[in-house]
Amino acid sequence: MRRVLLTGLIVGSLVALGGGWVGFRGWQARAHLLNAAGLARQLSTEVVGADADRAQRTLAALQEQAAAARDATADPGWWVGRHTPYAGDDLTAVREIAVAVDELARDAFPALLRTDLSTLLPGKGRLDLNQLRAVSAQLADTDEVVRRTNARLAAVSTAGLVDQVRQAVTDLRAEIDQLAALTRSAGQAARLLPNLLGADGPRSYLLVSQNPAELRATGGMFGAYAVIKAEDGRLRMGAQNAASSLGRFDLSAKLSTEVRNLYTNLVGTYPADVNLTPHFPTAAALFREMYRKRSGTTVDGVLAVDPVVLSYLLKATGPVPVPGNATLVSDKVVHTLLSDTYQRLDLAGQDEFFAASAAAVFSTFFTREVNPRALLSALDRAIDERRILFWSAHSAEQRVIAGNRLGGALPEQEDVPTVGVFLNDGSGAKLGYYLRPSATLTVGQCRPDGRRQLRLSFTLHSTAPAGGLSPSVLGLGLAGDPYTARTLVSVYSPAGGAVLASWLDGADLRVGSGLERRRQVVIANVEVRPGATRTLDVDVLTGRTGSGDADLWLTPTAIPWTTQVQSAPHCDQ
């Protein structure tokens, strides 16, 4: 919700159109839009600071400036100018910008300010489903306004516009596209939550902790799990155990040929390997089936989190004591769970501590009074980094979830070419805590066939010590030297694209190759000694696209990646 507000409220800052407009009314419109931009920035600050009274006054001033800009572009003289050669298209585009900003300020922002964020959080372990439905209706109305505005602006042709106006239209479209995606997601979430929380009957879910100390494509090996039960908005924690306790399976018949060719039958054999594939719905469905076979219980979905999520949540809730163990503190919890625990506890003690930590954080999260904006901000950041993933066994719900970042679904079609870089531990150890990955993606020239070539440069640095780690951390030591981290790096091309060539530290590299969900995949073995850095360069090809933008989809790690995407002009510019 914080991102919905922030993104939406700053769109006015993108309409400073510079010069080049004809007539006094054009300069009036420009002045009003610039004033609206400043007010939007001020409003954003006040919303984040929870200063409701000032935010309402600022919104009123923003609405006044946006309406004035719209009026300045609505008189007969402007209408005549819109139908003249040369300047007509530019004046029409300015008019559409003014209308878009006015509609957002008048019809979308007030509803967002009225939304009571506390209704999205549990009180005394329960969410009020009636209030949640009311919020859902407000968000649905806001989403309708944003979608209507988005469609109207999308219909504006940028061909032949002067540079300042074309850039303003392009930038405003991009911001409203993001706002539309966020309001759609928020509205969908508010509509789904009552059913997910047992409004129409009891639900149960598996809460799985991903352990990035032993990397898997979606974040980390599935470690401890717990059963979460929901009924009429009330949540409680049930049985807990280690994923390894489920044992071994033969679910190869449930694997696609593509997944089997890339990752062998391991994905359907061990709970620890279900997420060798980055497509979370596959991993979640397999884990649910493994749990069903062992327990005889069929759950309604799977929710995955990692210790970094806990560090974000603890900033909002404050420290959480774990009976008989250390108190969990935001800036130390990742080290506590992914390093210190393996050094000081045996295997049984580790499982007990992880289970007790999950129970303590769960209890605090649903019972302690916290600032709703701070908590929603923490959740938003975790979802944005794909550290919280959810899959529903109910097909109608899953169709909605799969289209959002929370779903962790690898799309087979996309508007912006996306390169995936996914990490799987090949050491049989827990050295992932010490790895520091970074990636740069550079967009190349447009090709005659409508594709673009991208260059990925991926580096992996190890901060592991050369000695002193416990056997629990060193594990199987499959790289030979137990302190050398072996990482299987899977590079996924954009949808409909291909991988052209790869190099490791400048030398040609032979890699395994396959396909998954319309993406070509190469898998490289990258071994990094303590203190060393390895560099993997990969040339990939997009599908047909005019976009000069690109994106990276990465495995969440204990320490966030360092990334850079170097865009290029669109092919029609």
My answer on whether 19 and 84 are in the same domain is yes
My answer on whether 254 and 365 are in the same domain is yes
Q: Is the pLDDT of residue 490 over 80?
A: yes
- Confidence (pLDDT) at 519: 97
Q: Is the pLDDT of residue 556 over 70?
A: yes
Q: Is the pLDDT of residue 390 over 90?
A: yes
CATH number at residue 284: 3.40.630
Closest by alpha carbon to 72, among 110, 146, 21, 148? Answer: 21
Whole-angstrom Cα distance, residue 377 to residue 301?
A: 24
82-109 pLDDT per residue, tens: 777 767 787 788 888 888 888 888 888 8
Q: What is the DSSP string of 331-356?
A: TTHHHIIIIIHHHHS-HHHHHHHHHH
Question: If pLDDT is split at 50, 70 and 90, which confidence band does 473 have?
Answer: very high
Query: Final residue of a domain: which of 172, 196, 220?
Result: 196
Q: Is the pLDDT of residue 73 over 60?
A: yes
Which region among 11-20, 81-90, 135-144, 259-268 has the lowest average model confidence (pLDDT)? 11-20
- Confidence (pLDDT) at 173: 78
Q: Is the pLDDT of residue 129 over 90?
A: no
Instruction: Indicate whether 188 belongs to any domain.
Output: yes
Question: If pLDDT is split at 50, 70 and 90, which confidence band does 22 have?
Answer: very low
Q: Is the pLDDT of residue 142 over 60?
A: yes
Read off φ and ψ for residue 331, nearest 5 degrees.
-80, 0
Whole-angstrom Cα distance, residue 99 to residue 96?
A: 5
> Six-digit token pair at 451?
């594709």
Count of Cβ atoms closer than 10 Å to residue 336 Cβ: 20
Instruction: Judge contact between 203 and 28, C-beta under 8 A.
Output: no
CATH number at residue 427: 2.60.40
My answer on whether 17 and 164 are in the same domain is yes
- Confidence (pLDDT) at 41: 65
My answer on whether 137 and 235 are in the same domain is no
Instruction: Indicate whether 572 belongs to any domain.
Output: no
Instruction: Indicate whether 508 belongs to any domain.
Output: yes
Instruction: Indicate whether 408 belongs to any domain.
Output: no
My answer on whether 176 and 250 are in the same domain is no
Task: Report percent pLDDT > 90 for the chain.
Answer: 51
> Six-digit token pair at 407?
């779903």
Strands (E), 284-406: 301-305, 389-392
My answer on whether 210 and 356 are in the same domain is yes
- Confidence (pLDDT) at 156: 84
Query: Final residue of a domain: which of 141, 168, 196?
Result: 196
Instruction: Indicate whether 317 belongs to any domain.
Output: yes
Q: Is the pLDDT of residue 553 over 70?
A: yes
Residue 291 β-bridge partners: none
Enter the pTM of the model.
0.83
Identify the top-confidence range among 18-22, 125-129, 386-390: 386-390
**Arithmetic mean of pLDDT over the chain:** 86
Read off φ and ψ for residue 422, nearest 5 degrees.
-120, 140
- Confidence (pLDDT) at 19: 32
- Confidence (pLDDT) at 361: 81
- Confidence (pLDDT) at 119: 65
Count of Cβ atoms closer than 10 Å to residue 554 Cβ: 22
- Confidence (pLDDT) at 16: 33
Average pLDDT over residues 474-490: 95
Q: Which residue has the higher pLDDT, 348 or 263?
A: 263
309-338 pLDDT per residue, tens: 999 989 988 999 988 888 999 999 999 999
Average pLDDT over residues 167-183: 75
Which region among 31-40, 286-295, 341-350, 536-545 has the lowest average model confidence (pLDDT)? 31-40
Average pLDDT over residues 503-507: 98
Burial, 514: exposed, middle or buried (Cβ in 10 Å; 0-12, 13-18, 19+)? Answer: middle
My answer on whether 13 and 116 are in the same domain is yes
My answer on whether 149 and 42 are in the same domain is yes
My answer on whether 449 and 472 are in the same domain is yes
My answer on whether 367 and 463 are in the same domain is no
Q: Is the pLDDT of residue 10 over 60?
A: no
Instruction: Indicate whether 470 belongs to any domain.
Output: yes
- Confidence (pLDDT) at 131: 78
Average pLDDT over residues 510-527: 95
My answer on whether 43 and 176 are in the same domain is yes
Which region among 160-164, 281-285, 321-325, 505-509 has the lowest average model confidence (pLDDT)? 160-164
My answer on whether 188 and 285 are in the same domain is no
Whole-angstrom Cα distance, residue 312 to residue 375?
A: 8
Average pLDDT over residues 451-477: 96
Which region among 136-140, 176-180, 374-378, 475-479 has the lowest average model confidence (pLDDT)? 176-180
Instruction: Indicate whether 541 belongs to any domain.
Output: yes
Query: Final residue of a domain: which of 133, 165, 196?
Result: 196
Q: Is the pLDDT of residue 475 over 80?
A: yes
Task: Report percent pLDDT > 70 for the chain.
Answer: 90
Q: Is the pLDDT of residue 166 over 50?
A: yes
- Confidence (pLDDT) at 123: 62
What is the total count of domains within the chain? 3
Question: If pLDDT is split at 50, 70 and 90, which confidence band does 1 have?
Answer: very low
Average pLDDT over residues 67-83: 77
- Confidence (pLDDT) at 11: 38
Q: Is the pLDDT of residue 415 over 50?
A: yes
> Six-digit token pair at 117?
């964020």
Instruction: Indicate whether 295 belongs to any domain.
Output: yes
Enclosing domain of residue 16:
2-196
DSSP H or E stretch at residue 216? none
